[in-house]
Chain A
Amino acid sequence: SQTIHQWPATLVQPVGSPLSLECTVEGTSNPNLYWYRQAAGRGLQLLFYSVGIGQISSEVPQNLSASRPQDRQFILSSKKLLLSDSGFYLCAWRPRAFSSYEQYFGPGTRLTVT
C-alpha cells in the first residue's frame, strides 16, 4: 500500500531564516505531487505541483520554491521566511493516470514564523 511522509511535523523559525520541508511517497511510482498551504481556519491553497522529476508548476508567486530531485521526493524551500509564511503545509500525491482522480495527503507540517 502507498504511504506518504512529511517532516518535520512542527517547526518554529525566525523571520528571514531558510526553510526546507520534505515529502516522500512510498509504494507507488511516477506520482503527481503537490504542496498546499492552509492558513489558520482557512481552506487549502495550491502552491506547487509536479508531474515528474525536475518538473515544477507554480500556482502562486511568493518567496517559496519547490524541487523534485527524485521520483517520489518533493521538497518545499525558502531562502528567507516571512511572517505570512506561517501555516499548515500539506503534501499530497495522486496516481499519474487520468483515470484516477483521488488525491492522498500526508500528515502535514505546522510552520510558525516568529
Chain B
Amino acid sequence: AQKITQTQPGMFVQEKEAVTLDCTYDTSDPSYGLFWYKQPSSGEMIFLIYQGSYDQQNATEGRYSLNFQKARKSANLVISASQLGDSAMYFCAMTEAGTYKYIFGTGTRLKVLA
C-alpha cells in the first residue's frame, strides 16, 4: 500500500538560506508520481513541483528542487534562498500510475525568520 511520511512537524530557516523538507514514501508500483504542495494560512493548496518515478533528473521549478533518491524512497524538497513568503505548511504527496488516487503526508510547517 502507498504511504507518505513527513517526519518534521515544524522547521525554522533564516531568510535567504536554503532549507530541506524531508519526505519518504513507500509503494510497490514501479510507476508513480511525487508532488509537493504549499499551503499558506489562507488554506489554498499550491502545486510546487512534480517528479515522475522514471525521470532521470531531479525536478526543479525556480527556487524549488526535488531531491529524488529512488533507492532510499525519498523525495525531499529543497527551497533555496528562503523568503518570508515561504512560511507555510508543505505537503508531500504521491500517486501510482493506473490509479486516480493521491495520498498526502502530514505536512511540515516552515517558518522563515527575518
A residues at B contact (CB < 8 Å): 32, 34, 42-44, 46, 49, 51, 57, 59, 88, 90, 92, 94, 98, 101-105, 107-108, 110
List B82-100 residues whose CB lies under 8 Å from chain A: 91, 93, 95, 97-98, 100
Q: Which of B35, B37, B97, B100 contacts A32 (CB 8 A)?
A: B100
Of the listed residues A103, A107, A110, the one surrounded by the most CB atoms of chain B closer than 10 A to its CB is A103
Contact flags B70-109 to A (C-beta < 8 A → 1, else 0) = 0000000000000000000001010101101111111100
Q: Check B98 against A98 for contact (C-beta < 8 Å).
A: yes
Query: In whole angstroms, what is the CA distance A57 to B100 when docked?
Result: 10
- Residues of A contacting B100 in the complex (Cβ-Cβ under 8 angstroms): 32, 49, 51, 57, 94
Give 28 pairs: A residue, B residue, CB < 8 Å, sorted on A.
A32-B100, A34-B102, A42-B106, A43-B91, A43-B104, A43-B105, A43-B106, A44-B91, A44-B104, A46-B102, A49-B101, A88-B43, A90-B43, A90-B45, A92-B45, A94-B100, A98-B98, A101-B33, A101-B35, A101-B50, A101-B52, A102-B35, A102-B50, A103-B93, A103-B102, A105-B37, A105-B45, A108-B44
Question: Among the interface residues B33, B98, B100, which one has the most CB atoms of the partner chain A within 10 A?
Answer: B100
B12 at the interface (CB under 8 A from A): no
* C-alpha gap A101/B36 in the complex (Å): 12
Q: How many B residues, CB 8 Å from partner?
A: 22
**Cα distance A32–B35 in the bound complex, in angstroms:** 17
Contacts of B93 in A (CB 8 A): 44, 103
Q: A98-B98, A102-B47 are in contact. List 9 more A-B contacts (CB 8 A).
A: A34-B102, A46-B101, A46-B102, A49-B100, A49-B101, A51-B100, A103-B95, A103-B102, A105-B45
Residue numbers of B with Cβ under 8 A of A are 33, 35, 37, 43-45, 47, 50, 52, 91, 93, 95, 97-98, 100-107
In whole Å, how far is A55's beta carbon from the nearest beta carbon of chain B? 10
Nearest 3 pairs between A and B by C-beta?
A105-B45, A101-B33, A44-B104
Whether the pair A105, B101 counts as a contact (CB closer than 8 A) is no
When chains A and B are docked, how far (Å) is the Cα of A29 from the Cα of B8? 38
When C-beta atoms are compared, the residue in chain B nearest to A50 turns out to be B100
